[in-house]
Amino acid sequence: MRIDEESEGVSASRNHLVFAYYVTGHGFGHATRVVEVVRHLILAGHDVHVVTGAPDFVFTSEIESPRLFIRKVLLDCGAVQADALTVDRLASLAKYSETAVVPRASILKTEVEWLTSIKADLVVSDVVPVACRAAADAGIRSVCVTNFSWDFIYAEYVMAAGSNHRSIVWQIAEDYSHCEFLIRLPGYCPMPAFRDVVDVPLVVRRIRRSRKEVRQELGIEDDVKLVILNFGGQPAGWKLKVEFLPPGWLCLVCGGSDTQELPPNFIKLAKDAYTPDFMAASDCMLGKIGYGTVSEALAYKLPFVFVRRDYFNEEPFLRNMLEYYQGGVEMIRRDLLTGHWKPYLERAISLKPCYEGGINGGEVAAHILQETAIGKNYASDKLSGARRLRDAIILGYQLQRVPGRDMAIPEWYANAESELGMGSPTCEMSEKSSLMNSCTEDFEILHGDLQGLSDTMTFLKSLAELDSMYDSDKSAEKRQMRERKAAAGLFNWEDEIFVARAPGRLDVMGGIADYSGSLVLQMPIKEACHVAVQRNHPSKHRLWKHALVRQQAEGKNPTPVLQIVSYGSELSNRGPTFDMDLADFMDGDQPMSYEKAKKYFSQDPSQKWAAYVAGVILVLMTELGIRFEESISLLVSSTVPEGKGVSSSASVEVATMSAIAASHGLSISPRDLALLCQKVENHIVGAPCGVMDQMTSACGEANKLLAMLCQPAEVLGLVEIPGHIRFWGIDSGIRHRYEALYVKMLPESILGETFLVKYDGHNDPVTVIDPNRNYGVTAPAKHPIYENFRVKAFKALLTSANSDDQLTALGELLYQCHYSYSACGLGSDGTNRLVRLVQEMQHSKASKSGDGTLYGAKITGGGSGGTVCAVGRNSLQSSQQILEIQQRYKDATGYLPYIFEGSSPGAGKFGYLRIRRRPCVNPNE
């Protein structure tokens, strides 16, 4: 049932009623919206007993009445936050168990007695589960008022904690089922536990003072740009700086600590400041998404620059609502911490938020509660079995979802809801607002799943822009870019395109010991390569002019051609395009040899890069007997930086082979695909690499470490990265270039010629021993033996109890690995400097004053430069310290390191997309 925005108001003195209003302990947002509902109930002459863990001032600053009674009890802890932007999933479940599960019998007994003693007419919950069960036991009706329920939020946390915690979710859902109906607020999540629903407008606190009055009080002229910083409490140790704000801007800081010193362009608000007035006086807001911030930003038409939180599933639904009404700009966490605020603030003030819906949800909800308490039956709009089933499926999806995957509202859910005529903002938002939906507007996705990956959405958006660019003269700047111009004519847009994605990798443990059969632990990183492939009959293929001239000069009928465009050529000093007749891969009736192919791609240094991409086709021809009889168009776009030791080449190979296999109907397992890609790099590119990189890119999973042996290539399993641990990669800027029985038997070094005479070769078919070189023996032999032990210990520690000792031991293993690398002669000044900076930060006074943040670091991959892997606590302070290390490294060397942070699925887990461009519709027709 939907209540109209124009309400009758709350009738005064419809009997003198007593309400027991339970408020969750999660943040102030719930308490502030409860205030608005309670205010209207008290204005109507009723008594309200608020059961809460929130400070009294949240209620008493707005309501001064003897009819308001505050009972300080915490029965629902909500989500435990490690800091302002990070939810600790395991701690949340542990705290809920401690707060509501272990003492459950005692809580129910106490609450039933208390409800009876105050003679409550109605129990209202926002959104404390046990309150509904206590009301039922006391024989009192209950109603929930909320936009989300804890069974939906905790569902993801169970994935981190293990299925033995699912009973918490089911208990919460069972408690909610005793509620008579749900008063549902806009921006809601699926809530299958509730049988009946009444939709109301936004619950928003009223404004007491005008923009002009607030600015006069603060002494701020009307032409000064004002941003309000609202994170529900400042991140610990966060330092705000003058340069964070553009000239002519001031910032109002909510929740700053009493000891925090602020720059002159930042103004600290009192802790009990009435935030709505200051929001309405500002030009935009910078903060985290919650119901309170989003609803009030929409109500006051205040542009909202938001930073995402990890692991809070309410956020995507509110975010979609915010973006649908053109009121939101997303800021990445790194830019928040480094003070790169200017482009976001300037973008925000250009927005025109367009929310025109009702903002009297507090009054409407109070009216419904009053009428329910005197006996009116609102439970008439029962959610259909189909609708509740859809919600339940979404909840089940949460319980089984891929860790690390962004939560998005499934299109089928939104469409089904629209078919029921629910007409909720959630449906409209999810169909029109986000980048994901702009992708589905551009392309029909015939197979596959975007998996919430923003880089995939961006890649599809860039494809759509190529289509319009091809026939447009408006993109003068873009047309000057050779690669974009070439890519614009690459595809036939009415035909299907196949897209694959493969990430780079961070070598967490194992490194060069993989050559000796040691266990390795590798993490697929957030940065990835996307490849789009289209096959066409030669007669339909769009040929570049020189390729067309070549075929005409040879007097040929149209023959299959391979055309490749690779983005990023300007940054790597290589040609942006490559093309060849596919027949050139044949030597008579057989594919050309790998050695011949290697020479073919080495002819032109600016085209040598094509061996990584085109070489995939030759390997498939040689190893699987595939013959390619149609033309192939191929676009490569990678965000994996080159030369930084994170496997940029492997990601290109794996993504290319995945896309070509998908477009030609080939079924290749991720492991076999990795082995085939290794052949590309070993035999056609000519790089003597192991298979570790390709295996991680193909077989890895988000937020897990791939445990594998590389000789032979054997995946041993996946190791979940605990929620309290995070890994970073820090680029040095320097490019790649047992003891009891055996140690006394090994020489310190050996001449290559001596080794060949004595041992007649080695087991690696792609590396060559130089007879004239003197090779170190003792340290390189010692490293893999001890490294294998270190990796096994590291793997075991990841599954041990969350403690400072656990992190300290993990960090110590990284340090030991780094020193062992160095003993093999693989260190570099840059990587050694980064490891020292991590050590200095770890042992600094700031880190020792509380829980430690950073715990260890090591050189990665092949060594001699590249990237350092660091381990630390998953918190905002750790991220800030990584950024501080980045700046210290720049101050010392002049080079600003690239920071790798985050994880994403491997190519096998991603699968592939099969897409078709939707026809453009002329709006004037």
pLDDT tens readout for residues 882-919: 999 999 999 999 899 999 988 999 999 999 999 999 87
pLDDT at residue 92 is higher than 50? yes
Distance from C-alpha of 76 to C-alpha of 96, rounded to nearest angstrom? 7
Tokens of 344: 């976001």
Q: Where residue 617 falls among pLDDT bands split at 50, 70, 90?
A: very high
Q: Give me the pLDDT at residue 300, please.
A: 95
pLDDT at residue 426 is higher than 60? no
Q: Give me the pLDDT at residue 310, please.
A: 72
pLDDT at residue 575 is higher than 60? yes
Percent of the chain residues topping a pLDDT of 70: 81
Residue among 280, 270, 233, 225 nearest 251 (CA): 225
pLDDT at residue 417 is higher than 60? no
- What three-state secondary structure class fits 441? helix
pLDDT at residue 857 is higher than 90? yes
Contact call for residues 133 and 139 (beta carbons, < 8 A): no
Q: Give me the pLDDT at residue 778, please.
A: 54
Model pLDDT for residues 436-473, shown as the tens digit of each residue: 556 667 899 999 988 878 889 889 989 998 876 644 44
What architecture is the 18-204+377-396 domain classified under in CATH?
3-Layer(aba) Sandwich (3.40)
CA atoms within a 13 Å half-sphere pointing along the CA-CB vector of 354: 10
DSSP letter, residue 52: E
Place of tokens 């995507």: 316
* Side chain identity, residue 804: D
Q: Give me the pLDDT at residue 408, please.
A: 52
Domain 443-467+492-507+525-689 fold: Ribosomal Protein S5; domain 2 (3.30.230)
Q: Give me the pLDDT at residue 744, please.
A: 52
In the chain, CATH 3.30.70.890 sits at: 721-908
Q: Give me the pLDDT at residue 862, please.
A: 65
Q: Where residue 374 falls among pLDDT bands split at 50, 70, 90?
A: very high
Contact call for residues 701 and 911 (beta carbons, < 8 A): no
Distance from C-alpha of 380 to C-alpha of 47, rounded to nearest angstrom? 27
Q: Model's pTM, two decimal places?
A: 0.70
Q: Give me the pLDDT at residue 508, please.
A: 94
pLDDT at residue 785 is higher than 60? no
Q: Where residue 483 falls among pLDDT bands split at 50, 70, 90?
A: confident
∠ CA 417-424-76, nearest 5°, is 95
Q: Give me the pLDDT at residue 209, please.
A: 94
Integer Rg of the chain from CA: 31
Q: Report the CATH number of the 211-357 domain.
A: 3.40.50.2000
Decide if 277 is catalytic: no
Model pLDDT for residues 660-707, shown as the tens digit of each residue: 999 999 999 999 999 999 999 999 998 877 889 999 999 999 989 999
In the chain, CATH 3.30.230.10 sits at: 443-467+492-507+525-689
Higher pLDDT, 892 or 765: 892
Q: Which of 91-95, 411-415, 640-644 has the lowest mean pLDDT?
A: 411-415
Contact call for residues 5 and 367 (beta carbons, < 8 A): no
Q: Which of 517-526, 571-580, 765-774 has the lowest mean pLDDT?
A: 765-774
Q: Which of 256-270, 371-385, 537-551, 770-784 has the lowest mean pLDDT?
A: 770-784
Quote the mean pLDDT of the chain: 84
Domain 721-908 has CATH 3.30.70.890: yes
Q: Give me the pLDDT at residue 37, please.
A: 97
In the chain, CATH 3.40.50.2000 sits at: 18-204+377-396, 211-357
pLDDT at residue 474 is higher than 80? no
Distance from C-alpha of 618 to C-alpha of 615, rounded to nearest angstrom? 5
CA atoms within a 13 Å half-sphere pointing along the CA-CB vector of 742: 8
Q: Give me the pLDDT at residue 876, please.
A: 80
Pairing of strands 304-307, 328-330: parallel
pLDDT at residue 386 is higher than 80? no
Catalytic residue among 47, 693, 829, 851: 693
Percent of the chain residues topping a pLDDT of 90: 51
pLDDT at residue 405 is higher than 60? no
357: CB partners within 8 A, 6+ apart: 5, 186, 201, 202, 298, 425
pLDDT at residue 765 is higher than 70? no
